[in-house]
């Protein structure tokens, strides 16, 4: 039982480590033996070890050569045994490197770092979102979870996990417990109702593992709005409303309003920001606050209080301590 335990413990070690250890033992053993057999050619054990290492690596400098029959016989045995292990070692390293690369491309490699953004679902919105992140936060690592892609999109700072995002095993691979935030995009392969229900299920899975995770979820209908709130969504993107509102505004304004929307892309340098009201602006009017913030290149466009948001309020409206300011900044 004791020998069996030792064998099992030995086999638990990584294969490449076991091969390296065997090669080292062979080099040390044959280096000692050859220095004993031919002390004139190999005056020190180190000289013997050097010869053994050069021999098994098939380099063969020729600075040390056995002269006697016994010494050459030892050299033959060393070549037959040692060179085989060295070849196996390099073959193992190559296979391990190939397997790791293949695993990464197929989305099977676990993400081991933290403070990353997890994006769920691959579509045109995701592609645009990743491109925007790379422009405004190039240092931020992104993890994409999708079960439709066969291979990683191979985008810089993007780690791909292939799998069902409602399953814990997939989320653990994405290291969701140490993520900074998660963005759930609507599944384009499902109808609108099923897509929203699937997004809610993903949200529940995320919050189940990391209740403090900041989550943004996209809904394509209003049917699951309350369920998204109950599931703990921090931000709900109602794409069905956004699209219709943008279309109506474009019709009413005309003259190419869509170009204005593109300027609000954070990648172009402009983005929304919601901040607590500075102490010096408490009690002043919206008009006065707008001028004060404009001096700092901040454009005040509205006020948020609790769940209520007011864009372009009356200029005489007084700002209070619990107000949040909606700004466009760059």
Clarify whether residues 21 and 48 are in a common domain. Answer: yes
- Domain carrying residue 129: 116-242
What distance in Å separates the CA atoms of residue 138 and residue 158, rounded to the nearest whole number?
11
Clarify whether residues 185 and 214 are in a common domain. Answer: yes
pLDDT digits (tens, 9 = 90+) for 233-292: 999 999 888 888 778 888 888 777 777 777 777 767 777 888 999 999 999 999 999 999
Which residues are CB-contacts of 212 (< 8 A; sequence separation ≥ 6)?
none
**What pLDDT is stored for residue 2 in this prediction?**
43
CA–CA–CA angle 110, 266, 134 (5° rounding): 35
Report the candidate in 159, 152, 154 with the shortest Cα–Cα distance to residue 119.
Answer: 159
**Is 254 a domain residue?**
no
Clarify whether residues 280 and 227 are in a common domain. Answer: no
For the chain, give the percent of residues with pLDDT over 90. Answer: 50
**Is 38 a domain residue?**
yes
**Is 157 a domain residue?**
yes
**Is 76 a domain residue?**
yes
Examine the pLDDT at 47 and tell me if it is beyond 80.
yes
CA–CA–CA angle 44, 41, 77 (5° rounding): 90
Q: Sorting pLDDT into bands at 50, 70 and 90, what band is 121?
A: very high
Q: Sorting pLDDT into bands at 50, 70 and 90, what band is 205?
A: very high
* CATH for 305: 3.30.70.1450
- The predicted model gives 225-232 an average pLDDT of 94
Q: Do 226 and 192 form a contact (C-beta atoms < 8 A)?
A: no
Counted domains in the chain: 3
Among the residue ranges 45-59, 72-86, 153-167, 183-197, the one predicted with the least confidence is 72-86
**What pLDDT is stored for residue 54 in this prediction?**
87
**What pLDDT is stored for residue 166 in this prediction?**
95
* CATH for 156: 3.40.50.720
* CATH for 49: 1.10.287.70
Clarify whether residues 120 and 238 are in a common domain. Answer: yes
**What pLDDT is stored for residue 143 in this prediction?**
96
Clarify whether residues 148 and 77 are in a common domain. Answer: no
Under DSSP, the state recorded for 318 is B
**Is 125 a domain residue?**
yes
**Is 103 a domain residue?**
no
What distance in Å separates the CA atoms of residue 25 and residue 53, rounded to the nearest whole number?
11
Clarify whether residues 16 and 92 are in a common domain. Answer: yes
Report the candidate in 315, 316, 318 with the shortest Cα–Cα distance to residue 284.
Answer: 318
The mean pLDDT of the chain is 87
**What pLDDT is stored for residue 61 in this prediction?**
77
**What pLDDT is stored for residue 59 in this prediction?**
78
Examine the pLDDT at 82 and tell me if it is beyond 90.
no
Clarify whether residues 89 and 121 are in a common domain. Answer: no
Report the candidate in 96, 93, 184 with the shortest Cα–Cα distance to residue 146.
Answer: 184
Clarify whether residues 230 and 126 are in a common domain. Answer: yes
**Is 109 a domain residue?**
no
Clarify whether residues 206 and 279 are in a common domain. Answer: no
Clarify whether residues 230 and 161 are in a common domain. Answer: yes
Clarify whether residues 192 and 82 are in a common domain. Answer: no
């Amino acid at each position: 039982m004791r020998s069996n335990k030792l064998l099992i413990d030995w086999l638990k070690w990584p294969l490449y480590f076991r091969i390296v250890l065997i090669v080292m033992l062979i080099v040390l053993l044959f280096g000692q033996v050859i220095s004993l057999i031919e002390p004139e050619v190999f005056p020190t054990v180190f000289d013997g070890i050097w010869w053994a290492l050069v021999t098994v690596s098939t380099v063969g400098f020729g600075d040390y050569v056995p002269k006697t029959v016994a010494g050459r016989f030892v050299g033959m045995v060393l070549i037959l045994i040692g060179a085989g292990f060295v070849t196996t070692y390099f073959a193992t390293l190559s296979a391990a490197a190939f397997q790791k690369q293949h695993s990464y491309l197929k989305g099977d490699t676990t993400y081991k770092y933290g403070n990353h953004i997890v994006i769920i679902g691959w579509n045109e919105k995701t592609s645009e979102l990743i491109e925007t992140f790379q422009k405004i936060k190039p240092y931020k690592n992104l993890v994409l979870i999708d079960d439709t892609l066969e291979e990683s999109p191979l985008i810089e700072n993007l780690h791909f996990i292939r799998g069902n995002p409602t399953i814990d095993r997939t989320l653990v691979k994405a290291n969701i417990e140490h993520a900074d935030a998660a963005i759930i995009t609507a599944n384009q392969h499902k109808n609108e109702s099923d897509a929203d229900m699937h997004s809610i299920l993903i949200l529940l899975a995320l919050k189940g593992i990391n209740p403090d995770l900041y989550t943004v979820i996209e809904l394509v209908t209003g049917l699951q709005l309350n369920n998204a709130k109950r599931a703990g969504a921090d931000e709900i993107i109602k794409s069905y409303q956004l699209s219709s509102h943008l279309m109506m505004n474009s019709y009413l304004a005309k003259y190419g309003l869509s170009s204005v929307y593109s300027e609000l892309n954070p990648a172009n340098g402009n983005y929304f920001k919601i901040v607590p009201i500075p102490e010096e602006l408490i009690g002043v009017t919206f008009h006065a606050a707008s001028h004060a913030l404009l001096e700092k290149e901040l454009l005040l466009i509205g006020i948020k209080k609790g769940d209520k948001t007011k864009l372009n309020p009356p200029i005489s409206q007084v700002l209070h301590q619990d107000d949040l300011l909606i700004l466009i900044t760059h």
